[in-house]
Structures are given as structure tokens and as C-alpha cells.
Structure 1
Amino acid sequence: MRASVIIPSYNAASTLPETIESILPQLTEQDEIIIVDDGSTDNTKDLVSLYLNDRIRYIWQPNSGGPASPRNRGIAAARGKYIFLFDSDDIMLPGKIEDSLAALNEHPDSGLLFTNFKTIDEHGNTLRTRFLDSYSFIKKIQNNPKKTVFRLPTPEPWLYLSKQNYIGTSGVVIPKNIFLDVGYFDEEIQNGDDRGMWFEIAKRYNIIYLSNEYHEYRIHQNSISSGNAKKRATNKIKVLERQLKNSSTTKFQERINREFRLNIRKLLSKNYHDIACEQVNSGNHLSALKSIFRSIAHYPSKNSLSLLMKISLGQNLLGKMRKTKKLLKKNG
């Protein structure tokens, strides 16, 4: 079998049928879709049952709390040579499967392929075309407007991942045998497990970039909510700290490893800064101080130093106010 499209799903009944319908016209007899239901409580199972056949399979499992587990379950069950990762609310655009397979067959030494894409809102309206064009790495490599397939030798893609995560999950295709080398997605991480995988593959293999748009990435109005910075950043920190630890084991030049570690430290600093900002907003100044010190320990950015000053001044002022209040109370 050629291709297995893995779709993790959790309470996605409102979008999953449209996602499946966008993939179906591209399937041949040598391709399959595997929907892994991560413990949905809506009517996902009933909707998916309308599509099931030899090439469209449905797997249910108890809720795992993140996409890594259902992705791994689907990959393990896949019969295809190539794994297409796809989210349950995105839309696959024409040519994705054939063009990806053609590029991978042309460059068999590649461990991952990713594509450009557009973003849409909850109603399918286009928000932004050619989303990846704004990323510095994409700008750097996309120097020929007539060229659509780019072979990216390691370690450059690995190094740029330490600056920006320029790879969108629904644009990714990975030969199944690559997982035997790098392992599966980290199920202990609820956010950022995908970037962790890109790091591991880009460190070992060349990758391919297709500059045409091959899917629509849906952005929900409530997908970015306040109060979640700590949860998101904590998982990202786990991924980044692991990369910081493992970078010393690469065979790349020390100059490249040094730049990689500096970039990772800057990202760690930013994530601890984000946590500190949320803690300040919630009034937890002591925890914010601990977070901002961790931020500065990794990289003393202007933002982190400024926030430290703000927290320190706030703590001093709060201490003075408490002393004044006690004094007034004592003196009647």
C-alpha cells in the first residue's frame, strides 16, 4: 500500500466529514484513511460509520489528553509506505497525495516532507494565503519562483527549527520506516510533540519542502485563550530542554551546535517569560519571580529584565503598603 492518512480526532463531528470528503477524491486503491477517535463524546463514531470500508478505518481509544497517542496508534496500524499526518478540522487540497509521493520517490533519502498552506476561519473563509512565506527559513530557500520542490539537506533545517517551527502538521508526510529510527511521538507531551518529532527527523535526514498550498488550516475563534500560557509553555519547555540536552551528541560542527543551543535558550527564555506574565496577571508574584529568573538564566532578554524590574518594584510597593497598613492599625 502507498499512503496512509492518519487523522486523530476528538469531538470533531462538526468538521471531520468535510475533512474526509476533501481527501477521498485523492485516494487510489493503494491508499487508506485511518481515523483514530481519542475518546470523543459527540457523535463522531456515527458520522464516520457512513464512510467505513476497506480503505477507511476507524479506531476508538480512551481519551489521552493530546494528539500524540492517537497519531502513534494510527501509525502503528498503518499499512502504507508513507504516513500523511492530517488534523480533523483541516481541508486537503487537490494534488497533495500524488505530488508528495512524486517528490519523495524522487528524493528517497528524505525523512520528512512538508508543504505550504493557507489558513481559514471556522466558516471556511480564507484568512491568509501562503502562510509559510513569512518565515525566515522559507524566505531564504524559496529564491526561485518557478521551483516548487526543494530538497533541504541536514543540518540547516534542524538549525532553523531552533528559531521557528516552520512546519505545519497537516502538511507533513513521513516514510513509515523513519519511525523505526527516530521513535514515535512523545505521549508525555500534550503540546509540542510534533515539533519534537521534526527536530529528531531533521537532525538525521534531509527533508523536502513543497512550496504550493496543499491544505487549509482551520483557525477557531477560541483556539487561543488567555490562561493557557503556562500549560502550552510547560510542554514546549520539555521539548526544548530535551533538544538542549541532546544537541551535544550530534555530529555537526561545534559552530552549528553552539548556534543551535543559543537559539534554544532564547526560546526557553521566551517561554518562561510567557509563564511569568500569566502569573503576574493572576497576582501570583512569587511564582512569577521564579519563572522570570529561569527566563534570565537561559537568556537575559530585554523583555525578561524589564519584567523582573516590574515585578520587583511591585513587590517592594506591596510590602510598603502592608507595613503602612499595620502601622495605621497599630496606632488606631
Structure 2
Amino acid sequence: MSISVCIATYNGGAFIKDQIYSILLQLSQNDEIIISDDGSRDSTLNILFSFNDSRIRIYKNDGKHGVVSNFENAIKHATGDYIFLCDQDDVWMPGKVKRVMEAFDNYDFVVHNAEMVDSNLISQGIDFFTLRKTRYGYWQNLWKMRYLGCTMAFKSDTLKFILPFPKNILWHDMWAAAILHLKFRGILIDESLMWYRRHGNNASSSGEKSGWSWSFRIRYRWIIFYNSIFRIIKAK
């Protein structure tokens, strides 16, 4: 069994080194970190190459630019039996991989909690599940996404349902959560297994803009609902 950690990078030089270190310490030689880079112009790629580790595999995102396409490109290149989504700017706590892999004995996907920290990894005194009132379920996360993509992991046999991403989605994690809930069995682990940095440029759907109109939000939920139901039916 092998693990693929999928990271979408773009100008992540400020934090990427800490993240990669925290991941490599928990991987075996059979595992991999799949990097899809969206045209970084800072030190991101130089830092990644400096690790000189064969487990780090870097791909250029030649498709549509943006976090959704970038993550899709990373996931497409994954060869592992288990897919871990990962942001470029967080830090995994020791034991994260072990704890998540234990849950895979009985479940197809896993979502775990995270400790909220600032850009300097100083705790903000709250965890993500408490902040977002996280609950398990399709409908609970369709109306208001209560998961972080970077806290999600799933078995690779789910990918035939998750990929390709619909062209009109805004958040990769909201889409993946919808598919996983419709078709597979998952679990919430109410343990903080990573430090989640909040610095204004986070890529996960927890940053949904509050200024968007209710009509837009309703239409977008309909898009996710329609596409997820259609995908499950079509992929059978």
C-alpha cells in the first residue's frame, strides 16, 4: 500500500519548506508527494528541488490556471492507493499519517480536525471543527462546506467518481466531499492532526466570500448537487 500526497503550489515559497519537511518524516520510501505547480515566480520550485528526494515529483499545470485545475492535475498524477490532499502552507503534526491510515481499515475517506494558527504557527485558540461547526453528511456540507480539503484523504478507487472535476466548480474540496458522501463511507476524526495557517490566501473553500449574493450561492449549490448526482449515476 502506498500514499500519494497531492499539493497544488503557487508562489508558496514562504511556507512550503516547513510543510514538505513535516510530510516527508511520515512517509515510507514507497510513498510520494505529487506537486502541481501553477507557474510560481518565487522560490517555490527552487525549494522543492533542493530537497533532492525521489519521493517528490513535480509537474507543471499546463491546463487552466487556478487552484481547482492545479489540484486536479496533481491528483491525476497520483499513483498511490491512498490520496491525501494537502495545502502548501500548513504543517502536519507528527502521527497524522498513522492516525489516518488506521481509519482506512473501516472507511473509504477520512476528514480530520486541525488547529488554527497564524502565519507564525501561533495558536489562535480554536480548532477548525469548532469554528465551522463541522458535521458529517452530504446535505450538511452542500449548503455550507464544513471541511477543509487539506484535512481530507480517500482511497484511490474513489477517483473514478471524483475525476474529472466539472468545469464550472469553484472549490475542489466541496466537489470531492459531495462525491465521497454520496458513494462512500467516511469518518470524521475529531483530533487536530495538522496546523492550519490563516493568512488571507488560503486555497480551501472555507474562504468562501461572504459578499456573494444568496442567489449565487443557491445556484452554485444546485450546480454541485446536479453534477454530483449525475456523476454517480453515470459512473456506475
Short-chain TM bin: 0.7 to 0.9
Q: Partner of 1:133 in structure 2?
A: 130
Q: Report whether the alignment pairs 1:208 with 2:211.
A: no
Whole-angstrom CA distance in 2 between matches of 1:59 and 1:97: 23
The partner residue of 2:171 within 188, 192, 203 is 192
Following TM superposition, by how much is the alpha carbon of 1:30 offset from its aligned partner in structure 2, in angstroms? 2.2
Following TM superposition, by how much is the alpha carbon of 1:56 offset from its aligned partner in structure 2, in angstroms? 1.1
Q: Partner of 1:272 in structure 2?
A: none
For residues 182 and 7 of structure 1, do their structure 2 counterparts lie closer, same or farther at Cα, with a shift above 3 Å needed? closer
In the alignment, structure 1 segments of 5+ residues that lack a partner are 139-155, 252-332
Indicate the SS of the match to 1:64: coil
Following TM superposition, by how much is the alpha carbon of 1:239 offset from its aligned partner in structure 2, in angstroms? 3.8
Q: How does 1:102-251 map to 2 (within 5 A)?
A: 102-105=102-105, 107=106, 110-136=107-133, 138=135, 157-189=137-169, 191-221=170-200, 229-230=211-212, 239-245=220-226
Whole-angstrom CA distance in 1 between matches of 2:133 and 2:149: 18
Deviation readout 1:4-34 (Å, 9 max, x if unpaired): 1011001111111111111111111221111
Q: Partner of 1:281 in structure 2?
A: none
Task: Among all aligned residue pairs of Structure 1 and Structure 2, give the percentage whose two residues are the same amino acid.
Answer: 25
Q: Partner of 1:3 in structure 2?
A: 3
> Structure 1 or 2: larger strand share?
2
In the alignment, structure 2 segments of 5+ residues that lack a partner are none
| Contact persistence 1:75–1:176 (CA under 8 A) | no
Q: How does 1:78-89 map to 2 (within 5 A)?
A: 78-89=78-89
For residues 239 and 101 of structure 1, do their structure 2 counterparts lie closer, same or farther at Cα, with a shift above 3 Å needed? farther
Indicate the SS of the match to 2:87: coil
Following TM superposition, by how much is the alpha carbon of 1:136 offset from its aligned partner in structure 2, in angstroms? 4.5
> Structure 1 or 2: larger helix share?
1
**Matched residues, number:** 227
Following TM superposition, by how much is the alpha carbon of 1:237 offset from its aligned partner in structure 2, in angstroms? 5.3
TM-score, scaled relative to structure 1: 0.61
Q: Partner of 1:259 in structure 2?
A: none
For residues 212 and 24 of structure 1, do their structure 2 counterparts lie closer, same or farther at Cα, with a shift above 3 Å needed? same
TM-score, scaled relative to structure 2: 0.83
Tell me which structure has the larger Cα radius of gyration: 1
| Contact persistence 1:2–1:80 (CA under 8 A) | yes
| Contact persistence 1:116–1:131 (CA under 8 A) | yes
Following TM superposition, by how much is the alpha carbon of 1:221 offset from its aligned partner in structure 2, in angstroms? 4.5
| Contact persistence 1:89–1:218 (CA under 8 A) | yes
Q: Partner of 2:14 in structure 1?
A: 14
The aligned amino acid for 1:46 is N
Following TM superposition, by how much is the alpha carbon of 1:214 offset from its aligned partner in structure 2, in angstroms? 0.7
For residues 75 and 247 of structure 1, do their structure 2 counterparts lie closer, same or farther at Cα, with a shift above 3 Å needed? closer
More contact order relative to length (CA 8 Å, sep ≥ 6): 2
For residues 228 and 243 of structure 1, do their structure 2 counterparts lie closer, same or farther at Cα, with a shift above 3 Å needed? closer
Whole-angstrom CA distance in 1 between matches of 2:6 and 2:34: 5
Q: Partner of 1:276 in structure 2?
A: none
Q: Report whether the alignment pairs 1:44 with 2:44.
A: yes
